[in-house]
Amino acid sequence: MTAAVVTGAGSALPAALDQEAAWDGFFAAHYADVRAAKRIFLGAGVRRRHAVANPLDEDLSNWGTGARMARYVQEALPLGKQAVAGALDSAGLAPGDVGLFAVATCTGYATPGLDIRLASDLGMPPGLQRLLIGHMGCYAAIPGLAAVGDFVAARSRPAVLLCCELTSLHVQPAQRDLEQVVAHALFSDAAAAVVLEPGAGRGRRLAGVVARTDASTADLMTWDVTDLGFRMGLSPRVPGVLSKHVGEVVDELLAGAGLRVEDVAGWAVHPGGPKIIDVVRDELGLAEEQVAASRRVLSEHGNCSSATVLLVLQEMADVDGPVVAMAFGPGLTLYAALLLPA
């Protein structure tokens, strides 16, 4: 079967928001009655992030979900268009060349969805196949890659995957809840896209995908639709659960290609937070410099949900050799992909 190869990538970011300014100008008052809130917020490993709704300019915490969804469509379309256009340009393809367009998001709903609206706006063909990957959370980029990779390999047609997440639209009302402090400290907005082509002689070949879900811990990470947007539940037990599974997932992924941990040239670890990166580093026996790209993305962009691991892969564009991409989310679910030089 023809290999699916990642040949192009693009991203788009809204205006930057300084972490300390966000605390001083909004969240300090929001969490005035929560002990340790400032320490947690400023210790999240985030220096700045990006937001279509800057809390220093507008407070969405009491907006209804309908208003937030309308804003999502308004803001997501130009960001998604920029990311997809950049990915196609870097791959040297035109919108008319695309056979499948997949969109992953957990931060907004609309029908017709972003896939239909963006395909039309970009000039993709009317016979285009489309796939909308909804509400999987931070790990959605990896099953998205698997799905579009299977299409590319089976149909010998190029495909595009877009991850577009606007978490700033879901700022919650003030409440004495440390999980909400953590969520508001970490999450950010971004759109990131990749192009996969059949049998290309350049780029990174998708060589394998492994998944693991620990359903016994499903209550530790949640993303609930409420009347006031979507609300994150994020237990401090999450890193401990991931530590039990990350080693076996990576071993299974690498064994399929006859590789070992020491053969991997690059680790694109989803930076769900500083402790998540620490767990992966320690469980796999990696050096700190091997997770430096994930630290940089967390510091400069925050946790952009499904788009984040694609941003880390872009950060590692010059890495030569096998690359492992990993992401984690509700379930609790771990996903990992192996990318080899084409």
CA 108, CA 134: separation in Å to the nearest integer?
Answer: 9
Cβ–Cβ contacts within 10 Å for residue 299, how many? 17
Cβ–Cβ contacts within 10 Å for residue 287, how many? 8
Q: Judge whether 102 and 194 are in contact, CB under 8 Å.
A: no
Q: CB-based contacts of 31: which residues, under 8 Å, 6+ apart?
A: 37, 38, 41, 174, 181
Cβ–Cβ contacts within 10 Å for residue 259, how many? 18
The DSSP H or E segment spanning 70 is helix 65-91
CA 186, CA 274: separation in Å to the nearest integer?
Answer: 10
- Torsion, CA 216, CA 220, CA 225, CA 228, rounded to 10: 160
Catalytic residue, from 106, 138, 164, 304: name it.
Answer: 138
| Residue recorded with tokens 């969405």 | 60
CA 9, CA 189: separation in Å to the nearest integer?
Answer: 17
Please say if 138 is a catalytic residue: yes
Q: Is 59 helix (H, G, I), strand (E, B) or coil?
A: coil
List active site positions: 138
